[in-house]
Amino acid sequence: MAHKKEDVKGELYGDAVREKIEEFAARGFASIPEDEREEWFTRFKFWGVFHQRSGQESYFMMRLTNCGGILEPDQLRAIGEVARDYATGPAENPEFGNGWVDFTTRQSIQLHWLTLEDIPEIWEKLEAVGVSSRSAGGDTMRNISGCPVAGKADEYVDSRAILDEIQETIREDDELNNMPRKFNISVTGCRQGCAQDSINDVGLEPAHRFIDGEEVEGFNVRVGGGLGGREPRPARPLDLFVRPEHAVETVRAFVELYHEEGNRQNRAKNRARFFVDDWGTDAIREELDERLDFDLERAGTDFRGEYTYNAGKPAERGAHDHVGVYDQRDGKNYVGLNVPVGRMTAEETIELADIADEYGSGEVRLTRRQNPVVVDVPDAALDALLAESLLEKHRPEPNPFVRGAMACTGTEFCSLALTETKARMAIMLRWLRDNVELPDDVDRIKVHFSGCTADCGQAMTADIGLQGMRARKDGEMVEAMDVGVGGGIGEEPTFIEWVRQRVPADEVPGLLKNLVEAYAALRQDGQTFREWVNATGQETLIELAEPEEVEGYEDPCLTDAKQSWYPFVDEDTPAPAEQVATVEEGE
């Protein structure tokens, strides 16, 4: 029997949902029948409109899409203006104020505190510059990941045209809008691995084959990667090499296979990684052979040995991220800013758009590490750009802890999360900066924080991964974290091994200090954190990761973030009691 959500989607889904959102917006939030709200909120997600958590009834988050992280000139400015004019709520965040944008781990943007009545005006403003929220949530193909500097930096295989064609011919295909579950696609032609093919449902990675004595450029295909539910899987190779001209149809063939055959009964087991578990790569390859009109070729030689993006290798081996100043292939530069925990105020966002116009082409790219990149900066303009006050805060050469940090939405807005994430991480980063010394050659420690096991913050791939939990301390229920170490993408993707569980949140900074200082004292010369973890026994790591309360750190919401309608205020919810609804906001 199909899951009940399949019946909900079967009645109305995809593009048809937009008209209903506009109808409800015209009549007001209260016009959504109370006994139908869960069903309507499920459908709204296709258009990137997510109802926020309990106590925030009538407020929505909107997720945007921008294939491969590309924002054309004027698009970021429009998003910043929407955040300024519409994305302000009834309470201020003590760290970030009111009105901001959140950069996501899929190279896109989220806006919070929107009212349903404003959604049509927001769409009008965004779509006027080509920004869409279509297929940004729900059981859809989500934002396509790619190298954020595709077409600008050196690539072994040009990928920008392939990304655009997948967007136009597959993601925008109405026949494929109702997937069994959300579905992630990545394509990269660079040798750094920055699209993280290992954790996508289908990923194309650059590869080559020698055929009749000539080198042929193309892609190897991997399927079934993902992180959530404490059941991570690396994407598995199909032993399939495809030439660039066959890339799009190969992705389509796997999308269609999963669309037709994916599990629609058990939502806990219907992501593509479980589909690949069930079918096996040999059967999938055989099925694709039946569906594709060209002769399949065995996998070529990939470049995974050269991957450096979140790969746990020394910095001299290559870039771990896109933060800093880098050469473009046309002789200009791109400059990656570091935005702690991926949150930038509306005013800063508009300022960044102005800076991109003044010093570059106006185009801004987003990375999978929640950071923006200004592209097309001439050498002559570089010093002036780096001297801008905005870059003092969002530095291209940040503190090692700030550079390696990522965080999901957390209980501030997500009903699935068990802990607050972004404000807490920001406070922890300052404390670590001021209280932990690192060797001079260590320019980043990757600490990723997810508020729950859905792992939107990619804790499973971090040097140090934090996942939200609950625990008892001094007889009281408090927010807590499970702590793991040793994750990373690269030639051999690994997921964290847990060293401590249910650590009260106010003891986590001390744990991190103890662990990182042990690394600094015990490492061999030049050894990265991931290399040190791999060389150190699990029992020793558990001993070193000692939880501890520390001076100078005050946790922002130790006991009540999940219980309050908003973690940072004591007042009652501003939402009318009759508008309370329970939704799966984090799906």
Asked whether the beta carbons of 87 and 78 are under 8 A apart, the reply is no
* Residue partners of 578: CB distance under 8 A and separation at least 6: 34
The DSSP bridge partners found for residue 145 are 186
Asked whether the beta carbons of 323 and 368 are under 8 A apart, the reply is no
Spatial distance between the Cα atoms of 402 and 339, rounded to a whole number of angstroms: 8
**pLDDT tens per residue, the chain (587 residues)?**
899 999 999 999 999 999 999 999 999 999 999 999 999 999 999 999 999 998 999 999 999 999 999 999 999 999 999 999 999 999 999 999 999 999 999 999 999 999 999 999 999 999 999 999 999 999 999 999 999 999 999 999 999 999 999 999 999 999 999 999 999 999 999 999 999 999 999 999 999 999 999 999 999 999 999 999 999 999 999 999 999 999 999 999 999 999 999 999 999 999 999 999 999 999 999 999 999 999 999 999 999 999 999 999 998 898 899 999 999 999 999 999 999 999 999 999 999 999 999 999 999 999 999 999 999 999 999 999 999 999 999 999 999 999 999 999 999 999 999 999 999 999 999 999 999 999 999 999 999 999 999 999 999 999 999 999 999 999 999 999 999 999 999 999 999 999 999 999 999 999 999 999 999 999 999 999 999 999 999 999 999 999 999 999 999 999 977 888 999 998 889 886 544 443 333 44
Spatial distance between the Cα atoms of 402 and 400, rounded to a whole number of angstroms: 6
Six token digits for residue 395: 């530095």
For 15-45, letters b (16+ CB in 10 Å) and e give eebbeebeebbeeebeebeeeebbbbbbbbb
pLDDT at 577: 53
Kindly tell me the burial class for residue 415, based on how many C-beta atoms sit within 10 Å of its own C-beta (0-12, 13-18, 19 or more).
buried
Residue 185 CB neighbours (<10 A): 26
* Residue partners of 450: CB distance under 8 A and separation at least 6: 407, 408, 421, 456, 457, 458, 459, 465, 466, 467, 468
Would you say how long the chain is, in residues? 587
Helix (H, G, I), strand (E, B) or coil at 512: helix
Asked whether the beta carbons of 63 and 109 are under 8 A apart, the reply is yes
- Quote the Cα angle for 585-586-587, to 5°: 100
In the numeric block, the tokens 């919070």 are attached to 112
531 residue type, one letter: E
pLDDT at 583: 37
Q: What is the crossing angle of helices 346-359 and 379-386, to 10°?
A: 160
Residue 361 CB neighbours (<10 A): 15
The DSSP bridge partners found for residue 372 are 366
Predicted TM-score (pTM) of the model is 0.96
pLDDT at 8: 96
Six token digits for residue 217: 């450029």
* Residue partners of 392: CB distance under 8 A and separation at least 6: none
Spatial distance between the Cα atoms of 470 and 463, rounded to a whole number of angstroms: 22
